[in-house]
Chain A
Amino acid sequence: MTPLLQVKDVAKMYGARIGCTDVSFDLYPGEVMGIVGESGSGKSTLLNCLAGHLAPDRGEVVFDTRADGPVDTVTMSEPARRMLGRTDWAFVHQHARDGLRMSVSAGGNIGERLMAVGDRHYGDIRARAADWLGRVEISDARIDDRPSAFSGGMQQRLQIARNLVTGPRLVFMDEPTGGLDVSVQARLLDLLRGLVREMGLSAIIVTHDLAVVRLLADRLMVMKDGHVVETGLTDQVLDDPQHGYTQLLVSSVLQV
């Protein structure tokens, strides 16, 4: 099986400071990988490099495209990369406001992604938007409301619907449950798990919440000061951490 994403020796520097360096891994179809680490460890920098939001200084990010097979997305043309961002890739921001158009209706937010890939039939677009609102548990009576009238948890779910409507194969998530209260978080986790299983999605999730990765991620990568210090199966890394930093991280979690 060809990996969906092959990351080879990616590095990003901010002047003399290290953003992230020496990152290599393969992600296979249907796999969910978590990236954990304290703030400033380089996990968001890495995610942005992988998703094409930042240009890495070194390394390759090879994506297995539907049309041409594995292609390095760092060196591909800007229009081709933007096309990927609208079709096979999705990016769920920590703050839903960064991923939504706040002045456009909920239905419009979902429809925009469909129109970007060529859908033109208004009735179809609206029907699919309504279908996706239902999947993320937002009443379709709210289809014409603007996201600014939604609660934080609803905005986050709307952002997920907007991202998944075009059937992406790879989803990047930056702290998708951060800033949400725990009951909303649980609902979102359940939703994401169901979507990953039903659509066969691969995902890379950046978070500092170890409970979230335990429930969502198959594999885990632990970062510290821009370096990957440990990788492995999620439960193995959390139950039998090998690196001193991971041990500290795991033992620092408050028991509920």
Chain B
Amino acid sequence: MIELQNVSKSFTLHNQGSAVIPVMEGATLSVKPGECVGLVGASGAGKSTLMRLIYGNYLAASGSILVGGVDVAKAEPREILALRRKTLGYVSQFLRVVPRVPALDVVAEPLLSVGTPIEEAREKAATLLAGLNIPERLWSLSPTTFSGGEQQRVNIARGFAYDYPALLLDEPTASLDAQNRATVLDLIEGAKARGAAIVGIFHDEAAREQVCDRFVDVSGFSPKVAA
């Protein structure tokens, strides 16, 4: 479902003496449907960078990134947009929303964008929010005013609203209490059971052991520094 071949990435800082910073080289990874792969490596090793490359958020310098048959490294913007609507979900660490949109609609939006009727989308969103212990009195408020943990849970609910065949999870269990953490792990198990290919970053070791089938150490993709 997700196939990376020899992906490299560097940043060129034009306004700082055109410094070129190579950050990744020869990244190769393959994730099958129903499989969850955990990315490991020290902070700064490039775990989030790799995720952003897969999501098309960062532009790969070379190599191919196939997600459901689309090469994200070369695809047109509209192909990537269609991919993100129907195939590839991403739960980032930060929630970014239009101010003043109620939490319920924030969560329902991925469903609406694939044409789900509004009542059905809201119903699914309500189930997810309730499952993640967001009190019903908050559903009609904008999540911009929520606490960090609540925002994180709204973000997770949004990521799981639509059943994406491929999912990227960036620290989904960070800053959650034991009960919510268990719910999130259940959601991940559920996604795996229906055949989703998942790439995740988990700092929480117990969570990592529970849901991941195998691990990939991204420090292996660090560029060799000329000594």
Write the residues of chain A forming the contact surface with B, with a CB cutoff of 8 angstroms.
28, 31, 186-187, 189-190, 193, 197, 214-215, 218-219, 231-233, 235-236, 239-240, 242-244, 247-248, 251
Would A215 and B98 count as touching, CB distance under 8 A? yes
Complex partner residue of A28 from B56, B78, B99, B100, CB under 8 angstroms? B78
Would A242 and B98 count as touching, CB distance under 8 A? no
Complex interface: chain B residues within 8 A of A214 (CB): 96
Enumerate the 8 nearest inter-chain pairs by beta-carbon distance, A residue then B residue, closest first.
A244-B14, A186-B99, A240-B58, A233-B77, A219-B77, A186-B100, A190-B98, A215-B98
A232-B59, A239-B52 known; A247 vs B13 contact (CB < 8 Å):
yes
Write the residues of chain B forming the contact surface with A, with a CB cutoff of 8 angstroms.
11-15, 52, 56-59, 77-78, 80-81, 96, 98-101, 112-113
Would A187 and B58 count as touching, CB distance under 8 A? no
Would A236 and B15 count as touching, CB distance under 8 A? no
Give the secondary structure class of A's interface: helix
Complex partner residue of B101 from A31, A190, A231, A236, CB under 8 angstroms? A190
A190-B101, A239-B58, A247-B13 known; A233 vs B80 contact (CB < 8 Å):
yes
Would A247 and B15 count as touching, CB distance under 8 A? yes
Complex interface: chain A residues within 8 A of B77 (CB): 218-219, 231-233
Would B98 and A189 count as touching, CB distance under 8 A? yes
Would B100 and A190 count as touching, CB distance under 8 A? yes
Give the distance to chain B from A232, nearest Cβ to Cβ, in Å.
Answer: 6
* Known contacts A242-B12, A248-B15, then 20 further A-B pairs from the complex at CB < 8 Å, ordered by chain A residue: A186-B98, A187-B100, A189-B98, A190-B98, A193-B98, A215-B98, A218-B78, A233-B56, A233-B80, A235-B57, A236-B59, A239-B57, A239-B58, A240-B11, A240-B58, A240-B59, A243-B14, A247-B13, A247-B14, A251-B15
Work out how many contacts link A and B, with CB atoms closer than 8 A: 55
Nearest A residue to B55 via CB reads: A235
Residue of B56, B77, B99 with most chain A CB atoms under a 10 A cut-off: B77
Give the distance to chain A from B71, nearest Cβ to Cβ, in Å.
Answer: 14
Nearest A residue to B76 via CB reads: A26
A-B contact pairs, 28 of them (CB 8 A): A28-B78, A186-B98, A186-B100, A190-B100, A190-B101, A197-B112, A197-B113, A215-B98, A218-B78, A232-B59, A233-B56, A233-B57, A233-B77, A233-B81, A235-B57, A236-B57, A236-B59, A240-B11, A240-B52, A240-B57, A242-B59, A243-B14, A244-B14, A244-B15, A247-B13, A247-B15, A248-B14, A251-B15
What CA separation (Å) do A247 and B96 show in the bound complex? 21
What CA separation (Å) do A243 and B15 show in the bound complex? 10
Give the distance to chain B from A137, nearest Cβ to Cβ, in Å.
Answer: 11
Complex interface: chain A residues within 8 A of B112 (CB): 197
Residue of B13, B14, B100 with most chain A CB atoms under a 10 A cut-off: B14
What CA separation (Å) do A28 and B81 show in the bound complex? 12
A247-B15, A248-B15 known; A236 vs B78 contact (CB < 8 Å):
no
Nearest A residue to B101 via CB reads: A190
Complex interface: chain A residues within 8 A of B78 (CB): 28, 31, 218-219
Give the distance to chain A from B131, nearest Cβ to Cβ, in Å.
Answer: 26
Nearest A residue to B13 via CB reads: A247
What CA separation (Å) do A68 and B14 show in the bound complex? 47
Complex interface: chain B residues within 8 A of A251 (CB): 15
What CA separation (Å) do A242 and B18 show in the bound complex? 11
